[in-house]
Chains A and B, each alone.
Chain A
Amino acid sequence: MRLMMLALRNIRRAWRGGELGLLAFSLTLAVSIVTGIAGFSERLSRGMEQQSHHFLAADRVLKTARTVPDSWLLEAQQRGLKTATVASFRSMIYAGEQMQLASIRAVSDGYPLIGQLGVSDAAFGDAQLVEHGPSAGELWLDSRLLALLDLTTGGEAGVGEADFTVSRALISEPDRGNMNEMLAPRAMINLADLAATKVVQPGSLVRYRYLFAGSEAQLADYENWLTPLLEAGQRWEDVRDGQPAMATTLKRAEGYLLLAASLGVALAGAAIALAARRYGQRNSDNVAVMKTLGARRRQILHHYLAQLALLCAAAIVLGGLLGHGLQWALFASLQGLIDIDIPPPVWRPLLVGAITALLCTAVFALPPVWRLSKVAPLRVLRRDTEDSSEGMVASALIGVTGIGGLMWWYSGNIQLSAALLVASIALGLLATVLVLWLVSQARRLSAGRSRGALRLALAAIYRRRFANAFQVASFALALMTLTSLGLLRANLLVDWQMQLTEGAPNHFLINIQPTEIAPLEGFFQEHGLSNAGLYPMVRGRLTHIDQRAIKDIADIDAERGNVNREINLSWAAELPSDNRIEAGTWWTASDLVATERVPVSVEADLAKQLQLSLGSELSFNIGGQSLVAVVSSIRSLDWSSMRPNFYFIFPPDSLRDYAGSYITSFYLPAAEKPLLTDLLRAFPTMTLIEIDALIAQMNTVVGQVSAAIGLVLALVVVCALLVSVANVQASLDSRLQENAILRALGASRQLIANGLLLEFAAVGFLAGLLAALGSNIALYGVQRWVLDMAPVWHGSVFMVVPVLGAMTMAITGWLYCRVVISTPPLQVLARQ
């Protein structure tokens, strides 16, 4: 208790002394930034993850072509999971004289487990959100079906042998993202009514989706139980399997936030190390006096350790609170941009903050305090008794290890942390060599020639050349971080925007009969709509590869390979404009005459999954007839281009004998949606797919991610400035002394001010140059290995960053060194 009281009194006294303030400030800021970023990114990514679960309408989905035993669902329920069942099939819907093929979902009462359904009382109306699907006896039809069947809500319609009341227009479903199920307009009934329709007979094509929701532990537990029971064709999916585009976006966002946070931690650590070093230096005299007055080393250690412990505790509490405030501010500023429910704050970021504070204190603040306890009492009589470089190498090593460890622990990615750390050290060494070389050159060249402020600046840089090298290195690291993250952000956005270009096709039209092509093109022309071209389409099933039946090829995951179903086959004389040949050659007219075997061009990913190579023989079943073709080329294409894309393309005429239809895609602005009703009335047999809903979902995620990135970038700026400030403050004492002497000798304030500005600007400029180089190198690595993107070289940063660095450093230096100029020389000299 007495020790505690003494420690409290000591900390109060030390606080008044001013040295503790800087350390406390850095430590608190580090904790708040770490807690803020950790909490923000964790909650954001959990939010996005939860949001993405909406796309599944569940946490996990079991996809199968047959019903599964009831015991599987019972088992899930016993393990605390919620379950729901969705059966999808295609059938005709009858309403009076009208009939229309629809993709029907029969859903159990629990559906959807996550997310909500949007319904309306009128076709194309505004959506109201409801928790569950139709009750028994009800039929929900999407707006197009209502239009096609000439129905309004309240009308009657039949599916198979059962009659239903059309109670709602179905506007949105959380899990509508699946293209395969969107090929026909959607209708929804209750699962309890499925049997009564009698449309599901043995051999009919029904797909089942069993939905599961619960805690990750329960899900993992159940997955372990279920996996051994799964048969071929049954597939357990989470959101990442179901939505590859979403998965990539989330993964990138996570990688980005992680990267930013790791660098934030490293910068905060550097700031703490600088502040602690200054704290140690400024306390050396005090320790010498205390020792002279009889304090033992143990007492000195107790004294300072108690200060550090209290400081650390205060930083954890205060930094934790500020970090929470930061999270709150971040989410508040995202309001309107983010369309997801942010999960409540969690404890983990606070723990991360607390451990960061403890580690930072131990790694960065403890070594100077340890050295402090070894200060010789003789220092009270002779100031030159300290060897200030003693233990510097050791504490530098401890610091680097500490920063590396923090980054590793923080990112959980040893490769990333090691790469960043090695890059930082390399940058530091490069900065040191560069600064020392430049300083010696400048001194040599300017000897006796330079005057006034320039000479002062050069002399100041030379005198502090090692400190300046460190300053250049750390500022370069901060600038490099900013530059890399800034460029990366621009990069990511450009990349995403390419996927979602304004005006990209947002509607697909299929089931276009050959006779309808001319009238349809007329319709498009009349309304000024452009389309992506009309492509023929024949539905067929791949049955054999090199005369082996698909179902007998054990190492093919038929479900994943997208081959265990009817696939759209097409034909074309020319390679579609956005496709690229990876292997083999595209056919010419003469090839087709010369060969007797039908060639086929296969999409690259599918070819890889099915282990196809040029010359592989493929057998297709098209409407009961068989077609054998040989792989003549392998194509890569962009599935997110929103244009009609095909796994298999045949030469023209080779599919002539098979009944087929055409497909196209086109862009329709949201304001012209009512035109769709005209289109469907004019061409009632065609099927319309609205992709814009899917694009809107993707856009939301891109918006969230880029807004988050902007904010994290702002936080890294704060960290970087903190390092600069700590750097400048570290040199304040010696500057005060030097400039007081200079002014006492008659140097004008203007001269000293110019000297200071020049010195800082030079440091900032050098740091900028290094940062431009470093960021390009770092970016290359990050793009190539972390984000899975094609690397891009940025020359423009060599122009911008050095100038920005010089300006920032000059302004920061000026703000913190004004005191050097404004303090009367006598006041400084009298202190000595």
Chain B
Amino acid sequence: MIRVQNLCKTVTSGAQELAILRGINLEIKAGESAAIIGVSGAGKSTLLGLLAGLDNATSGDIYLHGQNISLMTEDQRAALRAQHVGFVFQSFQLLPGLTALENVMLPLELSGHASPETAARVFLEKVDLADRGHHYPRQLSGGEQQRVALARAFAVEPDILFADEPTGNLDEQTGQRIIELLFALNSETRTTLVLVTHEMALAQRCGRQFVMHDGVLTEAVSNAESADTGMKQSSPAQSGELPCA
């Protein structure tokens, strides 16, 4: 479903070149759930942005749903997202001018869904907000806003769902409810899930965990698979060679 080869991202700041991602290799199969963990500034969000085709990599290839998005134009990537990708953000990112219902309808309209309103209502029902459809984001609490965002993400029945710190702006209890909902919807729709977080507990809920550190991604091997090593680097940088240089 997602395949990444030698992915590098370098930004120039003044005269300095800063390598944010140093040769990432990654493969996530359909229906899997993967967590990317790491400290702030480790490059987690940059990787997520690249995986979703929101930005261009400096080098390397990303295959999404079998297609190399590194070779696509921005519009082609947008079309791919409209068909196959859902998104949940830390800051919810609901459009303030649209009601909850309209926010959920938006991606459905963009992907040319036949009856966006009906589908949107179904998903608002699933997140227990059927009666708040006509409310604007500012009239909803943070938890409610994130539930609307979940409904919006799942409404297009995406093959892949990207979630960027989905509980980052919520208190623990609300965050917990959101997580439950996220995983419930995920198992119901059998969506491939890629989740960025700095919370270990949340990461543990995913089938696979990757640790991002200083631009290098390493998979934490689950106990069942490799109790002895515990860690397995996914990057060729393990040999000391820097693929982005």
Contact = CB atoms under 8 A, between A and B. Distances in A.
Interface stretch (B73-81, B120-128, B199-207): B73-81
A17 B95 CA distance: 9
Interface stretch (A294-302, A389-397, A556-564, A638-646): A294-302
Interface stretch (A52-60, A315-323, A378-386, A436-444): A378-386
B177 to A, nearest CB: 20
B49 interface: yes
A294 B159 CA distance: 14
B54 A292 contact: yes
A294 B97 contact: no
A291 interface: yes
Contacts of A310: none
A382 B164 CA distance: 12
B79 A296 contact: yes
Given A13-B102, A291-B78, A293-B87, A299 B110 contact: yes
B110 A290 contact: yes
A292 B87 contact: yes
A289 interface: yes
Nearest to A297: B75
B109 A294 contact: no
A742 interface: no
A376 B49 CA distance: 11
A740 to B, nearest CB: 16
Q: Could you say which of A19, A293, A295, A296 has the most chain B C-beta atoms within 10 Å of its C-beta?
A: A293
Given A295-B78, A296-B78, A376-B54, A13 B97 contact: yes
A292 B45 contact: no
Contacts of B46: 381
Contacts of A19: 97
B220 to A, nearest CB: 24
A380 B89 contact: yes
Interface in B78-98: 78-83, 85, 87, 89, 93, 95-98
A706 interface: no
Interface in B33-66: 45-46, 48-49, 52-55
A293 B152 CA distance: 9
Interface in A265-298: 285-286, 289-298
B107 interface: yes
B50 to A, nearest CB: 9
Interface in B123-176: 136, 152, 156, 164
Contacts of B156: 294
Contacts of B87: 292-293, 380
Contacts of B96: 17
B106 interface: yes
B52 A292 contact: yes
B111 interface: yes
Contacts of A378: 49, 54-55
Q: Could you say which of A14, A18, A292 has the most chain B C-beta atoms within 10 Å of its C-beta?
A: A292
A293 B106 contact: yes
B75 A296 contact: yes
A295 B87 CA distance: 13
A381 B78 contact: no
Contacts of B78: 291, 294-297, 377
Contact of A381 (B45, B75, B81, B95): B45
Contacts of B98: 13, 17
Given A378-B54, A381-B48, A381-B49, A297 B74 contact: yes
A597 interface: no
B162 to A, nearest CB: 9
Contacts of A376: 54-55
A16 interface: yes
Chain A interface size range: 20 to 34
B109 A6 contact: yes
Given A17-B97, A381-B45, A293 B107 contact: yes
**Main SS of chain A's interface residues?**
helix
Interface string A339-360: 0000000000000000000000
Contacts of B45: 381-382
Contacts of A381: 45-46, 48-49, 54, 89, 164
Interface in B159-216: 164
A15 B152 CA distance: 22
A298 B156 CA distance: 20
Contacts of A298: 75
Contacts of B75: 296-298
A13 B96 CA distance: 9
A13 B81 CA distance: 24
Given A17-B96, A377-B54, A378-B54, A294 B164 contact: no
Given A377-B54, A380-B89, A381-B164, A290 B49 contact: no
Interface in A1-51: 6, 13-19
A292 B110 contact: no
A752 B55 CA distance: 40
B49 A294 contact: no
B97 A18 contact: yes
Nearest to B90: A381
Q: Could you say which of A18, A295, A382 has the most chain B C-beta atoms within 10 Å of its C-beta?
A: A295
Contacts of A291: 54, 74, 78
A14 B111 CA distance: 20
Contacts of B52: 292
Contacts of A16: 97, 136
Nearest to A831: B138
A18 to B, nearest CB: 7
Contacts of B152: 293
B36 to A, nearest CB: 13
Contacts of A382: 45, 49
A603 B206 CA distance: 105
B211 to A, nearest CB: 20
A1 to B, nearest CB: 15
Nearest to B86: A293
Q: Could you say which of A17, A19, A292, A294 has the most chain B C-beta atoms within 10 Å of its C-beta?
A: A294
Contact of B81 (A6, A286, A292, A297): A292
Given A376-B55, A377-B54, A294 B95 contact: no
Contacts of B79: 294, 296
Nearest to A14: B97
B55 A294 contact: no
A19 B54 CA distance: 26
Contact of A294 (B48, B102, B107): B107
Nearest to A16: B97
A286 B93 CA distance: 8
A464 to B, nearest CB: 24
B183 to A, nearest CB: 22
B136 to A, nearest CB: 8
Contacts of B54: 291-292, 376-378, 380-381
Q: Could you say which of B49, B74, B80 has the most chain A C-beta atoms within 10 Å of its C-beta?
A: B49
A469 to B, nearest CB: 26
A282 to B, nearest CB: 9
Contact of B110 (A17, A286, A293): A293
A294 B89 contact: no
Contacts of B83: 294
A294 B80 CA distance: 7
A377 B81 CA distance: 11
B117 to A, nearest CB: 11
10 tightest A-B contacts by CB? Answer: A294-B82, A17-B97, A294-B81, A293-B107, A377-B54, A378-B54, A296-B75, A378-B55, A296-B78, A289-B93
Interface of B: 45-46, 48-49, 52-55, 74-75, 78-83, 85, 87, 89, 93, 95-98, 102, 106-107, 109-111, 136, 152, 156, 164
Given A293-B81, A376-B54, 6 more contacts: A285-B93, A290-B110, A292-B54, A294-B82, A296-B79, A382-B45
18 contacts: A6-B109, A13-B98, A17-B97, A290-B106, A292-B52, A292-B81, A294-B81, A294-B83, A294-B85, A294-B107, A294-B110, A295-B110, A299-B110, A377-B74, A380-B87, A381-B46, A381-B54, A381-B164
